[in-house]
Amino acid sequence: MLRQSKSPLLSLPGAVPAEGPDEGVAAHYGDPFREQRALADGSGFVDLSHRGVIAVSGDDRLSWLHLLLTQHVSELPPGQATEALILTANGHIEHALSLVDDGTTVWAHVEPGTQEALLAYLESMKFFYRVEVADRTDEIAVVHLPAGSIAEAPDGVVVRETPHGRDLFLPRERLESFAAEHGPAAGVLALEALRVEAHRPRLGRETDHRTIPHELGLIGTAVHLQKGCYRGQETVARVQNLGKPPRRLVFLHLDGSEVHLPGHGAPVRLASDGPDGRQLGFVTTAVRHYELGPIALALVKRNVPVDAALVVGEGTAAAQEVVVEP
Residues facing residue 270 across a β-bridge: 310
Rounded Cα distance between 81 and 222, Å, is: 11
Rounded Cα distance between 168 and 144, Å, is: 6
Domain total of the chain: 2
Q: 146 and 22, same structural domain?
A: yes
CA 242 to chain centre: 27
pTM: 0.94
Q: 252 and 150, same structural domain?
A: no
Q: 249 and 321, same structural domain?
A: yes
Residue ranges making up the domain that contains 285: 245-325
In a domain, 208, yes or no: no
In a domain, 178, yes or no: yes
Q: 306 and 249, same structural domain?
A: yes
Give residue-wise pLDDT tens across range 45-104. 999 999 999 999 999 999 999 999 999 999 999 999 999 999 999 999 999 999 999 999
Q: 156 and 305, same structural domain?
A: no
Q: 312 and 168, same structural domain?
A: no
In a domain, 77, yes or no: no
* CATH number of the domain bearing residue 303: 2.40.30.110
Predicted local confidence at residue 248, as pLDDT: 97
Of 180, 196, 212, which closes a domain?
A: 196
In a domain, 211, yes or no: no
- Please, what is the average pLDDT of the chain? 95
The DSSP annotation for 38-62 comes to: HHHTT-SEEEETTSEEEEEESTTHH
Q: 142 and 11, same structural domain?
A: yes
For residues 68, 204, 298 and 187, what is the CA-based torsion angle, rounded to 10 degrees? -120
Predicted local confidence at residue 132, as pLDDT: 98
In a domain, 232, yes or no: no
In a domain, 37, yes or no: yes
Angle at 248 between CA 245 and CA 252, to 5 degrees: 175
Q: 36 and 145, same structural domain?
A: yes
Predicted local confidence at residue 3, as pLDDT: 43
- Quick check: 151 and 45 in contact, CB under 8 A? yes
Tell me, what amino acid is at 85? L
In a domain, 224, yes or no: no
Q: 180 and 250, same structural domain?
A: no
Q: 149 and 38, same structural domain?
A: yes
Predicted local confidence at residue 19, as pLDDT: 95
Predicted local confidence at residue 148, as pLDDT: 95
Give residue-wise pLDDT tens across range 153-167. 999 999 999 999 999
CB atoms within 10 A of CB 124: 8
Predicted local confidence at residue 267, as pLDDT: 96
In a domain, 40, yes or no: yes
Q: Helix (H, G, I), strand (E, B), or coil: what is residue 266?
A: coil
Question: For each of the chain's 326 residues, which pLDDT tens digit applies?
Answer: 344 579 999 999 999 999 999 999 999 999 999 999 999 999 999 999 999 999 999 999 999 999 999 999 999 999 999 999 999 999 999 999 999 999 999 999 999 999 999 999 999 999 999 999 999 999 999 999 999 999 999 999 999 999 999 999 999 999 999 999 998 999 999 999 999 999 999 999 999 999 999 999 999 999 999 987 899 999 999 999 988 899 999 999 999 877 789 999 999 999 998 778 899 999 999 999 999 999 999 999 999 999 999 999 988 999 999 999 98
CB atoms within 10 A of CB 269: 23
CA atoms within 13 A of residue 195's CA, in its CB half-sphere:
19
Q: 267 and 146, same structural domain?
A: no
Of 196, 213, 233, which closes a domain?
A: 196
Of 173, 196, 219, which closes a domain?
A: 196
Q: 148 and 15, same structural domain?
A: yes
- Quick check: 159 and 78 in contact, CB under 8 A? no
Predicted local confidence at residue 1, as pLDDT: 37
